[in-house]
Structure 1
Amino acid sequence: MKYQIIPVTPFAQNCSLLWCEQTRRGAVVDPGGDVTRILRAVEENGVTLEKILVTHGHVDHAGAVAELAERLSLPIEGPQRDDQFWIDGMQQQSKMFGLPNVRAFTPDRWLEQGDTVRFGEVEMDVLHCPGHTPGHIVFFSKADRLAIVGDVLFQGSIGRTDFPKGDFDTLISSIRTRLWPLGSDVAFLPGHGPMSTFGAERRSNPFCGD
């Protein structure tokens, strides 16, 4: 699997374009905005999009989901159903943060712990990792040793837990029971900032390290 990080919105959110090397069929994860920029990356890499994947319902991650799905007739998969209240309040979120043209959407498929998502010949596992939001999910490629973690974990930090239905203890539990067992060699692509590995964070992250 190949990938490209596409920073979008004033929040510099890491939207990611993932694609199968054999088929060049792919998915966009967390299109928070700047659809033109996303579509340019899709075209430059010669990728045919099959679906949109969503880690959680915050506007900086999901603000352009409805627009992109409508423009390209793409199905939406994720997040877990407990984030529906965030998605239903998308327009309210957009007014709060000044992001234009944001609409709510209904995923074609809500995702749960143990599900898998596919595009081309790529298969990724779904892990339910609540704490930042109650319905937050992570996508993990065993073959590529790569996790797309949204706002669960960052290099040297963790996701905020002061939003509605966020919970610090739940987030730490998600990281330690769902992410660490995947292996210290796993690289992760966070929702903001640079990539890191689970091993590096176990050694040095002040919030969730060993």
Structure 2
Amino acid sequence: MKITCLPSGALGVNTYLAIDENTKKGFIVDPGGYNPKLTKMVKEEGADIQYIILTHGHADHICGVNEHLDDFPGVKVVANKNEENMLSDVNFNQSAMFGVPQTVKADILTDDGDELKVGDLTLKFIYTPGHTPGGMCVYIASENVLFSGDTLFCESIGRTDFPGGSFQELKDAVHNKLFTLPDETAVLPGHMGATTIGHEKGNNPFV
């Protein structure tokens, strides 16, 4: 699998383009703003984008969805079922505050443990509430990769002082779900650089 990070949006969120090199099927994670470089790279790679996956519904992770859907017609938007209200409310998702009010309709609403296939890859969705009510991570066991959104950063976790946030829920999700993954699993967060599950177990003071 080839993964490229293409920061986008007002806060430079880590937007990921992931492509199964065997089949050229791919997906996008958290397009926080429209980034023409992403569209150009998809075309250069000859990739067939299947899904836009949202780890959660905050503005800095969703404000590029609708424009990129124009570039990739037929692509399905994926989010956790508990994030539907946030995606449809410009105040709840804070896009109105950024001056770019956006709503997003998810075509596929996932539950904890649901899976999707992208080429030869199996994507498992792990429900990790706390930063938002419907926060989730995307785990690909065959590649030892976790797209963690704003759930888990390098030696930190996401803020929980937003509407719908809960420190206890986030702490429990990280400890009981993410820290059970193999230590070598790469953690690709929504902000800052990559880390690993093993590193976080030993160095994350919040869990």
TM-score by length of 2: 0.93
Matches of 1:2 and 1:119, distance apart in 2: 13
Letter in 2 for 1:119: V
2:96 counterpart SS class:
helix
Matches of 1:181 and 1:74, distance apart in 2: 35
User: Are the counterparts in 1 of residues 77 and 105 from structure 2 also a CA contact under 8 Å?
Assistant: no
2:134 counterpart SS class:
coil
CA RMSD of aligned residues (A): 1.6
User: Are the counterparts in 1 of residues 39 and 71 from structure 2 also a CA contact under 8 Å?
Assistant: no
Identify the structure with the greater helix proportion: 1
User: Are the counterparts in 1 of residues 58 and 95 from structure 2 also a CA contact under 8 Å?
Assistant: no
Counterparts of residues 6-21 of structure 1 (less than 5 Å): 6-21=6-21
Shift of 1:3: 0.6
C-alpha deviations, 1:119-138, integer Å up to 9, x for none? 12211111101010111111
User: Are the counterparts in 2 of residues 52 and 74 from structure 1 also a CA contact under 8 Å?
Assistant: no
Matches of 2:12 and 2:49, distance apart in 1: 22
Matches of 1:186 and 1:150, distance apart in 2: 15
- Residue 187 of structure 2 corresponds to 188
User: Are the counterparts in 1 of residues 145 and 188 from structure 2 also a CA contact under 8 Å?
Assistant: yes
Letter in 1 for 2:187: F
Letter in 1 for 2:143: D
Moved more, 198-207 or 74-83: 74-83
2:42 counterpart SS class:
helix
Q: What is the identity percentage for the equivalent residue pairs of Structure 1 and Structure 2?
A: 33
User: Are the counterparts in 2 of residues 5 and 16 from structure 1 also a CA contact under 8 Å?
Assistant: yes
Structure 2: give runs of 5+ residues left out of the alignment. Answer: none
Structure 1: give runs of 5+ residues left out of the alignment. Answer: none
Are 1:80 and 2:80 an aligned pair?
Answer: yes
CA 109–135 in structure 1, closer or farther in 2 if over 3 Å, else same: same
C-alpha deviations, 1:26-84, integer Å up to 9, x for none? 01111111231321222233322122111111111111112222332133343212112
